[in-house]
């Protein structure tokens, strides 16, 4: 399946890319295609009575691949008895049974679920004395060479373009070795280690040379957060600053991407530069706005020459001079701006993003974490309430893993002091307090909190969310804490979305019967929680779409916590004054546990209130740059049609 898709790639697709790239609708379909190629290779080797040598990766990217290989073993009888595996890397130091060890990861995801022989599974040893590492790494490579080299190497890609743990600056002939991890890599990994201070600084990695010697290489990348580095790696120059770019010089490599990871490739982002296109309204808007941004010109200042010199002469040939096209796009963009996110009653709504009627709408805001509502759409949230709409907010998860241990201890101490002050005697309280203190004090990095500690952390976030909603003006009966079960694992890795999660989401939508639903479309969230929460909303809406009340329901998607919508995607932009920006900041400040050092910061060092303000100001700045009205800030939304 994968091979045939690549074979169908046309010449124009390679005009900008120097690597074969195959784009799939989603990572699940892509993972199945890669698993089929691996399964076919294993079977060919079995028929030849030869071992199949696989180079394997860890991290989130290959999880779906391993799940599909396990399924093929259990349901289709695929045997791994002739398979020998070499993993790319391991943190150092790292015990094999540690929560974040790659030995543990591989056993859980693949090895313990198939019939591979344990002696055929090689993973770098994170327990070695430092003076033994060099000789160990040399022996690791010799084992690969003795088996004839790697038949197929699976790779992921880091945000800085690292492959394995070959960071920026790695040389093309680098060997298997101990490396210092880049700060960007450590920040990305810190979510698994409960903070940057607990994240390893070094790792053992297979060298670039051995990766390049593999007979076949498949690099997996999912999500918008990988889009920029995929473009750089596939279309940019070969440079040791982006080790993945070395793969341009491999003669049998494929980048397997979902549509989000492929979104910045030229053939996807600007297809008119690659082939003749059908100019839809959406594509015209994307091209014209992209041209204006590239040239740093207002839309109405673009000329015929600008279009022609930037590969858009076909657009002029089909639709006339730049002047007319510019006005059309300018007007469309202007019509996205509204100070009435719930619609303006008794007004002409033909050029507004929302309906005028009903004048008073029931609004349901879904917030994946307890602070996403105020961070991503706080100005709109407050305006909807102030303009008389019946606003409900549903906090989908407890957010308990994002609270520092010190915060939990502080609140536990408060309860004890409170009880002592008011002479409230409770042996149970004392017992729980001592249990929690002991567990948090003795806990090793990355160990899971006990249920009592998680509950205290959840209460902290619940109180902060309630305070924010009160700040906006909501009553308690309009504040809903869902605590979806998929989230409650105590770790970054969550359960898959389940029927109970979906049914809880269906129930709240049916109960409120909203005219508007707001949900987080911010899929760059490194926790993955936003994606699961959005899937729950989408599936619930699909199940309810034939209900009479759903015919009057519109679904709007917001972003802001981790990224923002592109200017060509925005369908509603809600402007904010300087005072409203400050109000939103004060609302975010209600989440004190998320200030001054967030447990799961991601790669963005700014606090969430700073991220939100900067992104909102940047959005307003883009509108200003394109020649529209100048505002202090803007929150942006895209409508999802079901």
Please provide the DSSP assignment of 53-105 as one string.
Answer: EEEE--SSTTHHHHHHHHHHHHHH----TTEEEEESEEEES--TTSTT-HHHH
What three-state secondary structure class fits 281? helix
Closest alpha carbon to 588 in 401, 365, 391, 376: 376
Nearest to 584 by CA among 616, 619, 622, 620: 616
How open is the CA angle 490-496-498, to the nearest 5 degrees? 105
Rounded Cα gap, residues 497 and 485, in angstroms: 9
Exposure string (b/e) for 389-423, b if CB count within 10 Å is 16 or more?
bbbbbbbbbbbbbbbbbebbbebbeebbeeeeeee
Pairing of strands 217-221, 253-258: parallel
Rounded-to-integer distance, Cα 289 and Cα 315, Å = 13
Question: Helices 578-588 and 608-625: crossing angle, nearest 10°?
Answer: 160
Residue 408, CA distances (Å) to 281, 401, 404, 439, 465 in order: 52, 11, 7, 11, 16
The CA distance from 235 to 247, in Å, is 11
The sign of the torsion formed by the CA atoms of 567, 571, 575, 581 equals negative
- As a three-state string, the secondary structure of 3-34 is HHHHHCCCHHHHCCCCCEEEEECCHHHHHHHH
Provide the annotated active-site residues. Answer: 167
Other CB atoms within a 10 A radius of the CB of residue 51 amount to: 17
- The structure tokens listed for 165 are 């743990």
Report yes or no: 231 and 265 within 8 Å, Cβ to Cβ. Answer: yes
Task: Give the other-Cβ count within 10 Å of 320's Cβ.
Answer: 11
Cβ atoms of 549 and 394 within 8 Å: the answer is: no
């Amino acid at each position: 399946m994968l091979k045939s898709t690549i074979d169908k790639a046309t010449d124009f697709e390679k005009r900008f890319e120097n690597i074969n790239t195959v784009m799939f609708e989603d990572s699940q379909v892509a993972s199945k295609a890669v698993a089929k190629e691996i399964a076919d290779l294993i079977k060919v080797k079995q028929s030849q009575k030869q071992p199949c040598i696989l180079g394997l990766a860890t991290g989130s990217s290959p999880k779906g691949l391993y799940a599909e290989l396990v399924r093929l073993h259990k349901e289709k009888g695929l045997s791994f008895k002739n398979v020998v595996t070499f993993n790319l890397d391991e943190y150092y130091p790292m015990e094999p049974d540690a929560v974040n060890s790659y030995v543990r990861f591989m056993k859980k995801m693949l090895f313990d679920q198939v019939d591979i022989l344990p002696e055929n599974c090689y993973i770098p040893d994170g327990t070695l004395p430092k003076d033994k590492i060099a000789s160990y790494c040399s022996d690791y490579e010799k084992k690969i060479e003795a088996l004839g080299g790697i038949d197929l190497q699976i790779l992921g890609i880091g945000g800085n373009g690292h492959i394995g743990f070959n960071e920026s600056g790695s040389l093309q002939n680098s060997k298997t070795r101990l490396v210092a991890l880049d700060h960007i890599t450590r920040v990305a990994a810190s979510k698994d280690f409960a903070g940057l201070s607990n994240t390893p600084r070094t790792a053992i990695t297979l060298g670039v040379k051995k990766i390049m010697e593999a007979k076949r290489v498949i690099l997996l990348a999912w999500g918008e957060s990988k889009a920029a580095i995929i473009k750089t790696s596939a279309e940019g120059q070969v440079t040791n600053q982006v080790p993945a770019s070395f793969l341009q010089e491999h003669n049998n490599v494929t980048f397997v991407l979902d549509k989000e990871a492929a979104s910045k490739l030229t053939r996807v982002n600007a297809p008119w530069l690659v082939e003749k296109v059908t100019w839809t309204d959406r594509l015209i808007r994307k091209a014209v706005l992209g041209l204006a941004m590239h040239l740093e010109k207002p839309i109405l200042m673009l000329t015929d020459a600008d279009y022609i010199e930037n590969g858009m002469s076909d657009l002029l040939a089909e639709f006339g001079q730049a002047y007319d096209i510019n006005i059309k796009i300018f007007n469309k963009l202007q019509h996205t701006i509204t100070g009435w996110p719930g619609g303006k009653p008794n007004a002409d709504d033909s050029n507004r993003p929302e309906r005028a009627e009903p004048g008073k709408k029931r609004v349901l805001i879904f917030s994946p974490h307890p602070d996403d509502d105020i961070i991503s759409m706080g100005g709109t949230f407050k305006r909807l309430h102030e303009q008389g709409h019946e606003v409900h907010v549903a906090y989908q998860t407890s957010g308990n893993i994002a609270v520092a241990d010190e915060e939990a201890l502080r609140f536990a101490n408060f309860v004890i002091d409170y009880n002592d002050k008011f002479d409230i005697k409770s042996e149970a309280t004392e017992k729980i307090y001592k249990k929690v203190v002991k567990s948090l004090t003795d806990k090793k990095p990355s160990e899971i909190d006990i249920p009592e500690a998680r509950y205290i952390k959840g209460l902290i976030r619940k109180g902060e969310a309630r305070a924010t909603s009160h700040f906006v003006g909501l009553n308690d009966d309009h504040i809903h804490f869902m605590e979806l079960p998929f989230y409650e694992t105590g770790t970054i890795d969550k359960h898959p979305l389940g029927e109970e999660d979906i049914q809880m989401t269906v129930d709240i939508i049916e109960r409120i019967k909203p005219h508007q639903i707001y949900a987080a479309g911010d899929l760059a969230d490194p926790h993955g929680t936003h994606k699961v929460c959005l899937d729950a909303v989408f599936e619930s809406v699909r199940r309810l779409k034939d209900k009479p009340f759903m015919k009057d329901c519109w679904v709007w998607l917001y972003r802001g916590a981790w990224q923002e919508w592109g200017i060509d995607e925005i369908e509603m932009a809600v402007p904010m004054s300087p005072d409203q920006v400050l109000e939103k900041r004060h609302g975010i400040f209600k989440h004190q546990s998320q200030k001054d050092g967030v447990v799961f910061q991601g790669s963005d060092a700014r606090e969430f209130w700073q991220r939100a303000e900067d992104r909102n100001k940047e959005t307003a700045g883009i509108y200003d740059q394109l020649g529209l009205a100048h505002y202090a800030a803007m929150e942006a939304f895209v409508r999802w049609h079901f």
